[in-house]
Chain A
Amino acid sequence: MRFAPTAQQVELATAVRELLADACPPETVRAAWGSEGEKARVDLWRQLADLGLLGAVLPEADGGLGLTEVDLVPLMVEVGRAAVPLPVAETVAVLVPLLAGRPGDGDDLTGLVTGNLVGTAELAGSGVLPWAGCSDRALVRSGSELRLVDLTGVPLELVTTVDGSRAAARTPQLPGTLLSTDPADLERAWLRGALATAAQLVGLVHRQLDLAVAHAAARKQFGVPIGSQQAVKHMLADVLLDVRFALPVVQRAAVSLAAGAPEARAHVAAAKAMASRAADRAARTTIQAHGAIGYTVEYDLHLYVKRAWALADTWGSETHSRAVVADSLGLPPAVDPSVLPWEAAR
């Protein structure tokens, strides 16, 4: 038993954190909201490739770092903390491990890990493909089949999103080439995406909290910092409480998924449920703690709040995730509470 990241995992996460502090400050996220941010996105993707992050899950013999889901969690926390406006999780945690096991797709795999290609993924079948506008490949689902779409030359109907950096498009039906008909591949890809999303949400909560704490310590009203008032202190303490108890659940999900344990499905759902709730509550609380400035787009908080909103409901909403946990507990279906007692007897 040793439930803590290894020194190596901490070191790698620190390296990613430092790189992103430089390469993905709020200005970069903000720039990605408009078309003038495209160059910044390309540069950032290149830097992530140079760091070895994009192919990190490949074996060392194939030029990767041999990372598992467990190693990816602290890295995805950092990607979330910086609100990187690119499908890092989709490429690193979903696409690359899927393609790595398939000899025939070498060119796409090489393109993704070297940073020449950007890959996104959407498996819920919502018809909205996040990051479509800045991606070259997309992993999609058709029924229970996994398909890889070459987005080059495909006319995309970009849609306006609350998080303006998401570059999402409406994609009714994309043809693509068949990657797998194995439901196990599909489930594993889904769980990897959900786990990476939960980890990003943890990072996003910490970023929102850092902003709120800095603001509450500096902003004075009635002659004192607002953060010295118990009402403000206590609501921010609750944000920390949520996220500190969500992280170990996310870490455990990674351990189960990496081990191929049968509990992985329930553990990933637990992770996503906890992280989504923590993120939704953090968003609401940190806006409130900022007061009016939190309700503007001039201040940076909204960049992180809006990413959290987007991620909280993708790769399995909180409600879906909790229902998966309920099933794993063997709970009977819910009854209709509106019927009167004598009617319920039938």
Chain B
Amino acid sequence: MDLTWSPAEEAFRAEARGWLEANVPRGLPSGDTREGFTAHLEWERKLFADRWAVVSWPERYGGRDASLWEWLIFEEEYYRAGAPQRVTQNGIFLLAPTVFEFGTAEQQDEILPRMAAAEQLWGQGWSEPGAGSDLAAISSRADKVDGGWRINGQKTWTTRGAFCTHLFGLFRTDPEASRHAGLTYLLVPLDTPGVTVRGFGRLDGDEGFAEVFFDDVVVPDSAVLGGVGQGWSVAMATTGSERGLTLRSPGRFLAAAERLRRLAVERAGSLTASARDGVVEAHLRAEAYQLFTLAQVTDLVEGRTPGAESSLNKLYWSELDIALHETALELLGPEAELDGPWSRGHMFSLSGPIYAGTNEIQRSIVAERLLGLPRR
């Protein structure tokens, strides 16, 4: 049990902190609006220029070959500095791990540097009107044509889809095969003829969602990631990332718990016993999540893979995030209804138990795979 950082890790932290303090922009509009998205892209390109966009990636793709520990340190510093949301996250945190694992050398060289540089902006094309939690029910299909695939169907709930340039998605390539076997993972430029993207408002009103329609959209064979008919297993490799570490680093919640603590001190006059306890709860849970993650990274570094444990992460951070924001609203009292970071954060927190596999799905995974309870 060693909770200390090495001198090299401390030096990495100091470098990251120094750069962030000098460069983090203030007051960007929401990255889930068209105008705000553009402002965020400038920030992403600045991160890339100084090699902070994808610290854990190889240098040749714009990273620093940082260890998982250094990645955690960077994330802590990133959120501590109050740096902007990562509008590139669905690419760099969800698609990239899959490309590293399943992509051909050509795909890696084509996609990864452009993704890191925020030139290619990736959205996730999994959910459909008829396929949410039951992801394997997707019906958008891709039919074999000479040299490629012809796509027809519809995707929805695509985060920032209206501002993205590319989409990674699952499509049914073999309607005769069983539900999971007939799927293929395809990479689709959104400027391909036949693609129509329509943005729409999320709970906070920002155009952060999109539905994507495919009418005889033809992509080349090189658009297949990880093999025809392999889509399910390729996609599941990404869900581990989505639920677990890469999308929701502990730094985010530690920083939020600290903001909440400061709010409570500022609002001492409305600090009821229950709000005070809510601040304690947020702090306890943010630290528990951090410590859980440190144990998990230790396991990863020593070759023990977490597997279904990522469902525990997802349940914990998503419910902690809601509780934390509810306490903030209680402290704000009549001002809680004003549009602002806490009210927006509260609305956003409500998406946590829904996306990346609903918490109902996660609890079933925990019960079946970690506790060993019988499937139905």
Interface residues in chain A, defined as those with a beta carbon under 8 Å from any beta carbon in chain B: 1-6, 70, 209, 213, 216-217, 224-225, 227-230, 232-234, 236-238, 240-241, 244-246, 248-249, 251-252, 254-255, 270, 273-274, 322, 325-326, 329-335, 337, 344
Please determine whether B360 and A234 come into contact, CB atoms closer than 8 angstroms: yes
Q: Are A233 and B368 in contact (CB under 8 A)?
A: yes
Please provide the chain B residues from 276 to 334 with a CB less than 8 Å away from any CB of chain A in the complex. 276-277, 279-281, 283-285, 287-289, 291-292, 294-295, 297-299, 302, 312, 315-316
Nearest Cβ on chain A to B42's Cβ, whole angstroms: 34
> Is B202 an interface position by the 8 A CB rule?
no
Q: How far is the CA of A269 from the CA of B355 in the complex (A)?
A: 34
Distance in angstroms between the alpha carbons of A2 and B298 in the assembled complex: 6
Selected contact of A3 from candidates B1, B277, B371, CB within 8 Å: B1
Residues of chain B contacted by A326 (CB below 8 angstroms): 276-277, 279-280
Question: Chain B's nearest CB lies how many Å from the CB of A43?
Answer: 33
B362 proximity list for chain A (CB < 8 A):
237
**Which of B270, B276, B312, B374 is close to A331, meaning CB atoms less than 8 Å apart?**
B276
Residue of A225, A229, A334 most packed against chain B (CB within 10 A): A334
Segment 254-280 of B: residues with Cβ below 8 Å from A? 261, 264-265, 268-273, 275-277, 279-280
Q: Which residues of A contact B284 (CB under 8 A)?
A: 249, 270, 273-274, 322, 325
* B residues contacting the other copy or chain, number (CB 8 A): 54
Asked if B6 lies at the interface with its beta carbon under 8 angstroms from chain A, I say yes
Q: Is B196 engaged at the interface, CB distance under 8 Å to the other chain?
A: no
Give the most central of B1, B4, B276: most A CB within 10 Å.
B1
Please name all residues of chain A whose beta carbon is closer than 8 Å to the beta carbon of B374 when the two chains form the complex.
217, 224-225, 227-228
Q: Is the interface of B mostly helix, strand, loop or mixed?
A: helix
Separation in Å of the A334 CB from the closest CB of chain B? 4
Contact of A230 among B9, B298, B360 (CB under 8 A): B360
What's the nearest-Cβ distance from chain A to residue B158, in Å?
28
Flag if B271 contacts A241 (CB, 8 Å): no
A217 and B284 alpha carbons, distance in the complex (Å): 33
B360 to chain A: closest CB distance in Å? 7
Chain A residues with CB below 8 A from B261, complex form: 329-331
7 contacts between A and B (CB under 8 A): A233-B363, A241-B366, A246-B288, A252-B291, A274-B288, A331-B276, A334-B273
Is B376 close to A, CB under 8 A?
Answer: yes
Residue ID in chain B nearest A249 by CB atoms? B288
**Alpha-carbon distance A246/B265, docked complex (angstroms):** 27
Which residues of chain B have C-beta atoms less than 8 A from A274's C-beta?
284, 288
Please give the distance in Å from A256's CB to the nearest CB on chain B: 8
Verify A325–B373 contact, CB threshold 8 A.
Answer: no
Q: Is B375 an interface residue (CB 8 A)?
A: yes
Whether, in the assembled complex, B348 has its beta carbon less than 8 Å from a beta carbon of chain A, the answer is no
- Segment 343-376 of B: residues with Cβ below 8 Å from A: 360, 362-364, 366-368, 370-376
List chain B positions with a Cβ less than 8 A from chain A: 1-6, 9, 69, 261, 264-265, 268-273, 275-277, 279-281, 283-285, 287-289, 291-292, 294-295, 297-299, 302, 312, 315-316, 360, 362-364, 366-368, 370-376
Given the complex of chains A and B, what is the CA–CA distance between A62 and B282 in angstroms?
44
User: In the complex, which residues of chain A have a beta carbon less than 8 angstroms from the beta carbon of B275?
Assistant: 334
Closest-by-CB residue of B relative to A68 is B1
When distances are taken between beta carbons in the complex, the residues of chain B under 8 Å from A252 are: 3, 287, 291
C-alpha spacing A325/B373, complex, angstroms: 36
Contact B366 A228 (CB under 8 A): no
B276 touches A233 (CB 8 A): no
The answer, among B269, B294, B367, for a CB contact under 8 Å with A1, is B294
Answer whether A244 and B283 are a contact pair too, CB < 8 Å, given A3-B295, A332-B268.
no
Question: Which residues in A have their C-beta under 8 angstroms from that of B291?
Answer: 3, 248-249, 251-252
- Residues from chain B with Cβ under 8 Å of A233 in the complex: 363-364, 367-368, 371, 373
B2 and A1: CB pair below 8 A? yes
Given A3-B295, A332-B265, A228–B289 Cβ distance below 8 Å?
no
Chain A positions within 8 Å of B272 at CB level = 334-335, 337
Docked-complex contact B1 and A216, CB < 8 angstroms: no
Residue of A with least CB distance to B285: A245
Inter-chain CA distance A2–B67, complex, in Å, is: 13
B302: nearest chain-A partner, CB-CB: A4
**Residue among A5, A237, A331 with max Cβ neighbours from chain B (10 Å):** A237
Interface hub of A217, A245, A255 (most chain B Cβ within 10 A): A245
Cβ B376 vs Cβ A335 within 8 A: no
Which has the most chain A C-beta neighbours within 10 Å: B6, B288, B312, B315? B288
Q: Name the residue on A nearest B372 (C-beta).
A: A213
- Determine which residue in A6, A329, A333 has the highest number of CB atoms from chain B within 10 A of its CB, and name it: A329
Task: Report whether B367 and A234 are in contact in the complex, using a CB–CB cutoff of 8 Å.
Answer: yes
Cβ-closest chain A residue relative to B291: A248
Q: CA of A32 to CA of B57 in the docked complex: distance in angstroms?
A: 59
Kindly list chain B residues whose C-beta atoms are within 8 Å of the C-beta of A237.
Answer: 315, 362-364, 366-367, 370-371
Q: How far is the CA of A241 from the CA of B298 in the complex (A)?
A: 19
Interface pair A322/B287, CB less than 8 Å apart = no
B373 contact from A70, A213, A241, A337, Cβ within 8 A:
A213
Of A227, A234, A254, A344, the residue contacting B363 (CB under 8 A) is A234
Indicate if the CB atoms of B9 and A1 lie closer than 8 Å: yes
A248 to chain B: which residues have CB within 8 Å?
288, 291-292, 294-295
